[in-house]
Amino acid sequence: GAVVSQHPSRVICKSGTSVKIECRSLDFQATTMFWYRQFPKQSLMLMATSNEGSKATYEQGVEKDKFLINHASLTLSTLTVTSAHPEDSSFYICSAVRNLAGGELFFGEGSRLTVL
Amino acid sequence: AQRVTQPEKLLSVFKGAPVELKCNYSYSGSPELFWYVQYSRQRLQLLLRHISRESIKGFTADLNKGETSFHLKKPFAQEEDSAMYYCALNSGGSNYKLTFGKGTLLTVNP
């Protein structure tokens, strides 16, 4: 199957700093990617839809200035957590849509962010 | 707004026993439903989608619009089926904007 890769898989940062997480579709082009947040023992919460070449669409309650999303190419979307605080500590997961044979969604392995 | 409900957080069965993971949905449009599975320390992956009407790893799921359900079933559970299972609804058409249920952790005991 198709591969979506996230980097870094784990990151620890100090409060107030910014952290960038990358999501790459390795063997297909993705005009649409998604970013989710997963709290411990809870479901995935969709944060935003990342559209190649245009602004991301954020879900209600997600601060766009806090979580900056850039989808500059058909294989890369980035999520930057700006001025991170401990409450931003979470597991962030991305997915990418491969539009072949009806389409399918492929997930990255996730990135664990810990803000001290 | 769409909603996906998985009423069981945890489900434990013995190997060889039948298993059913429940999923109910609420959506005003025509639903497209999926089951995703996450094995320990692995990424989320598609198990099956209702439009395919296929059986994957012995699992099946039938969309029941009258009961707004999409329960996942397997007649004989195996230990390797132990995983987290998420039911998801696509409200984004070809963009696959998914709404996930909270997940059910299935444990198959030897």
Flag whether pLDDT at B41 surpasses 80: yes
Lowest mean pLDDT among A5-14, A47-56, B100-109: A47-56
What pLDDT is stored for residue A101 in this prediction?
Answer: 62
Chain A hits for B101, Cβ within 8 Å: 43
Please tell me the distance in Å from A113's CA to the nearest CA on chain B. Answer: 16
Flag whether pLDDT at B92 surpasses 80: no
What is the phi/psi pair of residue A76, to 5°? -145, 130
Q: How far is residue B65's CA from residue B31's CA, in Å, rounded to a whole number? A: 9
Nearest CA in chain A to B6: A43
What is the phi/psi pair of residue B81, to 5°? -80, -10
What pLDDT is stored for residue A100 in this prediction?
Answer: 67
The CA–CA distances, whole Å, from B102 to A44, B3, B16, B19, B52 equal: 8, 10, 26, 18, 23
Lowest mean pLDDT among A17-21, A88-92, B87-91: B87-91
Q: Could you report the per-residue pLDDT of A22-77, keeping only the tens digit for each?
A: 999 999 998 899 999 998 777 889 999 998 888 899 999 999 999 999 998 999 99
Q: Which of A111, A43, A42, A40 is nearest to A77 (CA)?
A: A111
Mean pLDDT of chain A: 91
Instruction: Tell me the count of A-B CB pairs closer than 8 A.
Output: 46
Which A residues 35-64 touch B at CB under 8 Å?
A: 42-44, 46, 49
Q: How far is residue A91's CA from residue A114's CA, in Å, rounded to a whole number? A: 9
Give the residue from B37, B96, B97, B99 with the most A CB atoms within 10 Å of its CB, the best one to mutate: B96
Record: contact A93-B98, CB cut-off 8 A:
no
Flag whether pLDDT at B23 surpasses 90: yes
Using the structure block, give the residue that is written with the tokens 């954020």.
A58
